[in-house]
Amino acid sequence: MTDDKDTANQGIDNQNAENVLFEPIDADKVADLVVDQIERHIISGILSAEQKLPAERELAEQFNISRPKLREALQVLEQRGLVEVRKSGGTFISKLIMPSMAPAMAQLYSRHREAIYDFLEYRSEQESFAAHLAAQKATSYDKNIITDIIKKMEAAHELKNPSLEAELDIKLHHSIVEAAHNSVLVHMMRSTYGLINQGVFYNREFLYKKPGTRKKLLDQHRNIAYAIIDGTPEAAAAAAEAHMQFVMTSIHQEENEEKRLYVARKRSYILKNTPPKGRKRN
């Protein structure tokens, strides 16, 4: 039977969670417990791909173990493909979640814009689901992060900075997904947001440069955030769905405007280059 001391050390120390990344360990199977903590941090999304772990000395102090035992644990993690030790210095979390599509497929989608609506339809379902879960599961820390991002979005709106607004937009959605506390959703949506950041389907900045949309987008994000903070899942899901529907409609309108402009320019060209009837061009 495990004694109280071992149980406490292997459990969650919420009181000290803000002060250190890892919990100290005092048990016989030290290396195994270090491996277990780091694996759990990877699954939960606390540690993400390419993230550098603290230096060996600091890491050993946080775990309250010797450096040889720490090296033993890191070696196990490296053998499992979860971390990589780089010659440049440091231990990093491996890229465990591959891109949701190969580069060639991403480029194919970027050349054929009709696929954008399939992507937005998929994203709408995931964002709505994430908002619903976040309203149920968000902690006070999650809510503070979401509130802080909304304040930054409001400041960017006042500054009329569409680039910053677009950047904060994706950060807000990312924070909502993390507030949902579903590890599979976190990792899948990180891959999805990677496609958005690459501009595979659309340039998100265009929404903030489109006349009349900036205030609407801010209000929509407020609605999602406030519903999560208030703990109303249905309202949060509905607000997220309404937001994604607005994005789809805006993109559709933009495409139609581009088509109309193209046709109008071609007509203008014909008018300029067609001589009046009864008059032959030299």
CA distances (Å), origin 104, targets 99, 107, 189, 270: 11, 5, 20, 39
Residue-wise DSSP of 51-101: PBPPPHHHHHHHHT--HHHHHHHHHHHHHTTSEEE-TTSSEEE---S--SS
pLDDT score for 193: 79
Is the pLDDT assigned to residue 56 strictly greater than 50? yes
Longest CA span, the chain: 105
pLDDT tens-place string over residues 225-255 = 999 999 999 999 999 999 999 998 988 887 7
3-state secondary structure of 3: coil
CB 30 within 8 A of CB 65: yes
**Over the range 166-205, which residues count as b (16 or more CB within 10 Å of their CB) and which as e?**
bbbbebbbbbbbbbbbbeebbbebbebbebbeeebbbebb
| Mean pLDDT of all residues belonging to the chain | 84
Read off the pLDDT band of 4 (50, 70, 90).
very low
Q: Are 130 and 180 in contact (CB under 8 A)?
A: yes
| Confidence category of residue 9, pLDDT binned at 50, 70, 90 | very low
Length of the chain (residues)? 282
Q: What mean pLDDT is predicted for residues 199-211?
A: 71
CB 124, CB 248: distance < 8 Å: yes
The mean pLDDT of 154-177, rounded to a whole number, is: 93
Quote the pTM value. 0.68
Domains and CATH numbers, the chain: 4-93 (1.10.10.10), 103-271 (1.20.120.530)
Percent of the chain exceeding pLDDT 70 equals 84
Question: How many beta carbons lie within 10 A of that of residue 263, not counting itself?
Answer: 10
